């Protein structure tokens, strides 16, 4: 399919004027570059290899940054590390802007999926939840995906800071592009 598409595009370029060739070539370059960017924002220098992560199967997504999974022989509540999505189910807070979008995205992406959990220095929070960096089947960091889409902001609770630098940079890019919650005041 890709070979046929390239051939067709090359034929169009060959049969076009110089200005059209420039426009078509530019559009093609932008399109091809956009297709290549899926995992480059999610590469984490300090991430453990998949073989050193803990497997889990997501059973239920509670909100944008919390879910229940079967792992370590039982159902456990997992809280994503270093990210905080707007509230949707907090008992004392109203639904916040982009909370529903973040929650819906997490449900769509994680429900019934097999994921890998990576832990940091402190494994549980004061509520007994497992604290984890979550990786999808393709190795993509789900925590970082939420930041890229503007569905979360970086939230640091020491000593768990392993990916703080990368996440801050990702959040900065989302702000610059006015994605999600960073575009509310536009």
- For 75-124, the pLDDT digits (tens) are 999 999 999 999 887 778 888 888 999 999 999 999 999 999 999 999 99
Identify whether 53 is a catalytic site residue. no
Identify whether 87 is a catalytic site residue. yes
Q: Choose, from 60, 77, 129, 179, the residue flagged as catalytic.
A: 129
Per-residue b/e over 173-182, b at no fewer than 16 CB within 10 Å?
ebbeeebbbb
Q: What is the CATH number of the domain that holds 68?
A: 2.40.50.90
How many distinct structural domains can be found in the chain? 1
Q: Choose, from 87, 101, 118, 171, the residue flagged as catalytic.
A: 87
Is the residue at 33 inside a domain? no
Is the residue at 37 inside a domain? no
Structure confidence at residue 89 (pLDDT): 78
137: containing domain: 50-181
């Amino acid at each position: 399919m890709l070979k046929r598409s390239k051939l067709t595009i090359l034929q169009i370029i060959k049969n076009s004027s110089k200005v059209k060739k420039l426009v078509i070539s530019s559009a093609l370059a932008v399109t091809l570059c956009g297709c290549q960017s899926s995992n480059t924002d999610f590469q984490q220098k300090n991430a453990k290899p998949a073989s050193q992560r803990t497997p889990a199967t997501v059973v239920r997504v509670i909100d944008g940054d919390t879910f229940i999974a079967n792992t370590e022989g039982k159902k456990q509540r997992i809280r994503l590390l270093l990210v905080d999505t707007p509230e949707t189910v907090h008992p004392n807070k109203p639904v916040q802007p982009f909370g529903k979008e973040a929650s819906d995205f997490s449900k769509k992406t994680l429900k019934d999926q097999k994921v890998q959990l990576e832990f940091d220095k402190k494994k549980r929070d004061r509520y007994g939840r497992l604290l984890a960096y979550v990786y999808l089947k393709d190795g993509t960091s789900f925590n970082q995906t939420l930041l890229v889409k503007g569905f979360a902001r970086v939230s640091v609770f020491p000593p768990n800071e392993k990916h703080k630098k990368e996440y801050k940079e990702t959040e900065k890019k989302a702000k610059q592009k006015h994605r999600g919650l960073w575009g509310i005041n536009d």
